[in-house]
Structure 1
Amino acid sequence: MDTGILDEAYRRLHHTGPEFDGWLSNHGPMAVEALVRHGHVGRVHRWLDGYLRRLDERPRGLRPIDDWREALGDPKRAGDWLGYFERELRERPWREVLGSWWPRLLPGIAAGATHGVIRVGHAVRALLDGEAGQAGESPDRRTELGQALGYWAARWQPVPGAGPLAGRADVVDALDSLPRLPDRTGGIRDRLSRLPDVPHWSDALTAPRPARIPADAQRGLTALVHRASLDYLRFGHENPVMLVHAVTAPTAVLRTLPALDPPLWAPSLAAAWSATAAVTAVYAPAHPAGAPAVQPADPAETFARAARHGDEHVVKLADAVLDSHAATGDTRVLAAAGYAGQLI
């Protein structure tokens, strides 16, 4: 992984805010991390040249965060949260900060249409890769983790009805049995607010069996990402952009596990499941489409096509399905990235 290019890209992006044009998420840090990781360093700055023109400046703070519970989920405090985590990560090791805040933020996994956790997952992976290459204490990578955590805190939002898993189903069967939101009007916040009115929603959301040991959580997350990737091929046509997050949100949680204490793994599975379930319920149709025609490709070419396409969602989905392919060996998941490239 090219540390220099990634850190340069982070420095360019850290003058921008976590959102733009209202509350669209800034995908820049996530996309450049994926491009660098998969060897497309030559595209990074050219891609950023275009993307940066769309972004807003970093928001200014109103006042320091004193009572974090009171400020959690208040988007007007985004600048304050960015400053808070900037200070935290100057004063404490990044793993310590992450370990303290992960269980506080996890119940609000729907934050920013799940982009809070997704951005954290990319930032943690960059730090872990840096540690392996003796560059883990890069100030730019720590800054990126702080901005990711700050965004998550500012947009903190629970999935309605989420809680501990209490059923007996595996996540694949539970995903197949999810009810669908009948009223598809409005954005994700409007749709999530209507989920409690969906018959059997609360039962469906707690249907998977809980992880009894940390390894169960890792296996459950791997299965969830795998099935969500295959489901994109069946349902992606309905909302090609938003259904990407049914895959990328649990992928981000899975990537973060190695930096977390094992007792945090089981609640991480439960939260990731709730995110994928919610995105699926409010955006996926009740009936799948026929199998799409996607030209097959190996993992390297799958990502290369996404990089050439250039859309940030296509890049991030390709990155996620490559992880799923590496974990499961199932080549079918690679087609999801090509399908997203057709649809978006």
Structure 2
Amino acid sequence: MTAITEDGTLDEALQRVHSTGPELSQGWLSNHAPMAVEALARHGQARTVHRWLDAYRHRTDELPSAALTITDDNWREALGDPRHLGSWIAHFTRLTAELPWTDVLTAWWPRLLPGIIAGATHPVIRVGHAVRTLLTDGETEPRTAELAHALGYWAARHQPLPVTVTPSGGAGPHRALDAVPSLAVQEGGVLDRLARLPAAEGWPAAASGLRRPAGPDDARDLLTELVRATVARYPRYAHGDAVMLVHAATAPNAVLRVLPALPRALWVPSLTAAWEASAVLTAAYAPARPVFPAAPGVTTTMEESFALAAAHGDAHVIKLADTAWDVGGPAALAATARACELIEPGDG
């Protein structure tokens, strides 16, 4: 795994980001800045971080104020209430100042995990970036604060799925995803599509088609394979919705990045939630018929591929390239090239 260059760029960038809220001024679309700058700094593009932030800054909104004090008595009522975005961020900022960040994560991960689809999975993806930095590059105040902001965003947008998905079939991730049916009506936002899932033909059986893991290590291996499968599928299905299908890969990869910071007892439920996210996004946004684009032949190394994504500039392209870097190989190169082709700069 590539380490962050210790020149202070990432911490400076995170401090800039933390003056803004987790959503953009155009509505409830997510603020992608903390995820994009972490990926840029990690993969040899630190020199572009502040320039990227300068270009993105006009889209962001002010950090919301904290009108409510979240406590042990009222957190359940406040969970999933976006009116308390600022209050949740303040709550986790206090917790991470009082306790080791790993303790905070361990306590709250099982509470938040059932709402993994929150914010179209952006909160869990943001948590994954934050945890990767803390585990790989060490703890600093801005990095711990970033985890607090990410957890607060997740808590405020917490969104349980309308159906329970439990891996109980016999398929690995590649075959299980191939069996997920596309919604007959792929219109509207995430919540509109979620509402159609329970009645979708073939959905319940396909959603449970992933095989049940034998234990924590098997869950980690299945999760790793799930990330590989979603990256490999992206070039063939991204024409359905090139932006939203990025999350089918980056959400499970975020969960995979968090596993080393969690007790092993949480690994199996983490796989289940990651599979839920990928299966839901596949059903909601992947077209029924794949296409088979010609091999791009643009890049031959992951460094070149990520540089291509950085030059493109869109946050979703950068985040997919970051996940593709973890996967490696021709499929990863093809996924990044396809994202550059289909996503307009500025879409994210």
| TM-score bin, normalised by smaller chain | over 0.9
**Aligned partner of 1:77 among 84, 90, 99:** 84
Which amino acid in the other structure matches residue 113 of structure 1? A
Query: What does 1:92-171 align with in structure 2 at a 5 Å threshold?
Result: 92-130=99-137, 136-171=138-173
Q: Report the secondary structure of 2:239's partner residue.
A: coil
Once residues 131 and 197 of structure 2 are traced to their aligned partners in structure 1, the CA distance between those partners, rounded to angstroms, is: 31
Task: Please list the CA deviations of residues 85-128 of structure 1 after superposition, one character each: whole Å capped at 9, or x if unmatched.
Answer: 00000000000000111111111000100001000000000101
Which amino acid in the other structure matches residue 331 of structure 1? P
Which amino acid in the other structure matches residue 332 of structure 2? V
Once residues 114 and 108 of structure 1 are traced to their aligned partners in structure 2, the CA distance between those partners, rounded to angstroms, is: 9
> Are 2:250 and 2:320, in contact at CA under 8 Å, matched by a contact in 1?
yes
Which residue number corresponds to residue 339 of structure 2? 340
Task: Please list the CA deviations of residues 226-279 of structure 1 after superposition, one character each: whole Å capped at 9, or x if unmatched.
Answer: 111111111001111111001100010111111111111111111000000001
Alignment gaps of 5+ in structure 2: 344-348
Which residue number corresponds to residue 289 of structure 2? 287
> Are 1:116 and 1:149, in contact at CA under 8 Å, matched by a contact in 2?
yes
**Aligned partner of 1:303 among 302, 306, 312:** 306
**Pair 1:165–1:265, CA change in 2 (3 A):** same
Alignment gaps of 5+ in structure 1: 131-135
Which residue number corresponds to residue 91 of structure 1? 98
Query: What's the offset of the Cα at 1:165?
Result: 2.1
> Are 2:85 and 2:153, in contact at CA under 8 Å, matched by a contact in 1?
yes
* Aligned: 1:14 with 2:18: yes
Taking structure 2 as the reference length, what is the TM-score of the superposition?
0.94
Task: Please list the CA deviations of residues 274-313 of structure 1 after superposition, one character each: whole Å capped at 9, or x if unmatched.
Answer: 0000011010001101224412421110001101111101
Which residue number corresponds to residue 51 of structure 1? 56
Query: What's the offset of the Cα at 1:218?
Result: 1.3
Taking structure 1 as the reference length, what is the TM-score of the superposition?
0.95
Task: Please list the CA deviations of residues 37-68 of structure 1 after superposition, one character each: whole Å capped at 9, or x if unmatched.
Answer: 00111000000001111100011122111311
Once residues 282 and 113 of structure 2 are traced to their aligned partners in structure 1, the CA distance between those partners, rounded to angstroms, is: 19
Task: Please list the CA deviations of residues 6-30 of structure 1 after superposition, one character each: whole Å capped at 9, or x if unmatched.
Answer: 0000000001000011110000000
> Are 1:65 and 1:80, in contact at CA under 8 Å, matched by a contact in 2?
yes
RMSD of aligned residue pairs (Cα, Å): 1.1
Q: State the identity as a percent.
A: 54
* Aligned: 1:314 with 2:317: yes
**Aligned partner of 1:213 among 206, 212, 215:** 215
Once residues 46 and 207 of structure 2 are traced to their aligned partners in structure 1, the CA distance between those partners, rounded to angstroms, is: 40
> Are 1:247 and 1:317, in contact at CA under 8 Å, matched by a contact in 2?
yes
Q: Report the secondary structure of 1:17's partner residue.
A: strand
* Aligned: 1:40 with 2:42: no
Query: What does 1:244-283 align with in structure 2 at a 5 Å threshold?
Result: 244-283=246-285
**Aligned partner of 2:184 among 182, 185, 188:** 182
Q: Report the secondary structure of 1:18's partner residue.
A: strand
Q: Report the secondary structure of 1:39's partner residue.
A: coil
Once residues 10 and 196 of structure 2 are traced to their aligned partners in structure 1, the CA distance between those partners, rounded to angstroms, is: 40
Tell me the matched-pair count. Answer: 335
Query: What does 1:317-332 align with in structure 2 at a 5 Å threshold?
Result: 317-325=320-328, 330-332=329-331
**Aligned partner of 1:231 among 214, 230, 233:** 233
> Are 2:296 and 2:334, in contact at CA under 8 Å, matched by a contact in 1?
yes
Once residues 288 and 197 of structure 1 are traced to their aligned partners in structure 2, the CA distance between those partners, rounded to angstroms, is: 24
Once residues 16 and 152 of structure 1 are traced to their aligned partners in structure 2, the CA distance between those partners, rounded to angstroms, is: 16
Once residues 321 and 331 of structure 2 are traced to their aligned partners in structure 1, the CA distance between those partners, rounded to angstroms, is: 12
Larger deviation: 55-64 or 164-173? 164-173
Q: Report the secondary structure of 1:162's partner residue.
A: coil
> Are 1:159 and 1:278, in contact at CA under 8 Å, matched by a contact in 2?
no
Once residues 44 and 302 of structure 1 are traced to their aligned partners in structure 2, the CA distance between those partners, rounded to angstroms, is: 17
**Aligned partner of 1:198 among 163, 175, 200:** 200
> Are 2:166 and 2:207, in contact at CA under 8 Å, matched by a contact in 1?
no
Larger deviation: 201-210 or 266-275? 201-210
Which amino acid in the other structure matches residue 310 of structure 2? A
> Are 1:217 and 1:269, in contact at CA under 8 Å, matched by a contact in 2?
yes
Once residues 71 and 205 of structure 1 are traced to their aligned partners in structure 2, the CA distance between those partners, rounded to angstroms, is: 30
Which amino acid in the other structure matches residue 61 of structure 2? D
Which amino acid in the other structure matches residue 316 of structure 2? H
The list of structure 1 runs, each at least 4 consecutive aligned residues, that deviate by more than 3 angstroms after superposition, is none
